[in-house]
Structure 1
Amino acid sequence: MAQRWYLQSYALTREADDGPHQGFALRILAHHGMDTGHQEHTVDLADAALAQVRGRVPAPTESLFVVCRARALSGAGSPRKALAVAGRARALAESGAGTAGWDAMWGAAAAAVDSHTAAILTRLGDHAGAETHWASAARHYRGTEHQRIAALSTAAEGRAQCAQGHVERACATWGRALDGMTGIRSTRTRQAVITLRSDLARLRRRGARSAQALDDRARVWLHETA
Structure 2
Amino acid sequence: MREMVAMFSRIDQRHGGGHARSAVVQYLTTDVSGYLHGHFPDDDVRRGMYSAASELAYLSGWMAFDNGEHPIAQRYLTTAVSLAAEADDAPMAGHVLRAMAHQAVELRHPAEALDLAAASVEGSRYASASPRERSLLGVVHARALAAAGESQAAAAALLRAEDDLAAASPGDDEPGRVFFFGEASLAHETACVLRDTGDLEGAKREFRRSVRTRKASSFTRTHAVTLGYLGSVQARQGGIEEACATWSRALDLMDGVHSARARRTAADMRRALSPVRARGIPLVRDIDHRAAAFLAQSS
Task: For residue 182 of structure 1, report the CA deviation from its aligned partner.
Answer: 1.8
Q: CA RMSD in A?
A: 2.0
Residue type of the partner of 2:183? A
- Which sits farther off after the overlay, 130-139 or 207-216? 207-216
Per the TM alignment, residue 183 of structure 1 is displaced from its structure 2 partner at its CA by: 2.1
Match of 1:67 in 2: 139
Cα distance in 2 for partners of 1:186, 1:19 equals 29
Alpha-carbon distance in structure 2 between the residues aligned to 1:224 and 1:42: 32
Residue in structure 2 matched with residue 162 of structure 1 by the alignment: 235
Distance 1:222 1:198 in 2: 13
Can you list the C-alpha shifts for 1:63-113, whole angstroms capped at 9, x where unaligned?
Answer: 001111111111111123212311221222233224422122xx2332222
Structure 1 position 58, deviation (Å): 2.5
CA contact (8 A) 1:139 1:150 kept: no
Distance 2:208 2:158 in 1: 17
Out of 81, 84, 97, the residue aligned to residue 156 of structure 2 is 84
Corresponding residue number in structure 2 for 1:178: 251
Does the CA contact (< 8 Å) of 2:232 and 2:268 recur in 1?
Answer: no
Q: Relative to 1, partners in 2 of residues 1:225 and 1:41: Cα closer, same or farther, differing over 3 Å? A: closer
Question: Superposed, which structure 2 residues align to 1:85-104 within 5 Å?
Answer: 85-98=157-170, 99-104=174-179
Q: Distance in 2 between matches of 1:225 and 1:21?
A: 33
Residue ranges of structure 2 left out of the alignment (5+ in a row): 1-70
Q: Alpha-carbon deviation of 1:207?
A: 5.2
Q: Could you tell me which residue of structure 2 aligns to residue 126 of structure 1?
A: 199
Q: Which runs of 5+ in 1 are unaligned?
A: none
Residue identity opposite 2:114 in structure 1: V
Normalised by the size of structure 1, how large is the TM-score?
0.88
Shift of 1:210: 2.0
Does 1 or 2 have the higher relative contact order (CA < 8 Å, sep 6+)? 2
Identity of aligned residues (%): 32
SS in 2 for 1:145: coil
Runs of 4+ displaced beyond 4 Å: none
Farther-moved stretch of structure 1 (40-49 vs 154-163):
40-49
Give, in whole Å, the separation in 1 of the partners of 2:152 and 2:282. 38
| Mapped pair 1:108 → 2:181 | yes
Q: CA deviation at 1:120?
A: 1.4
Greater shift, 199-208 or 112-121, is seen at 199-208
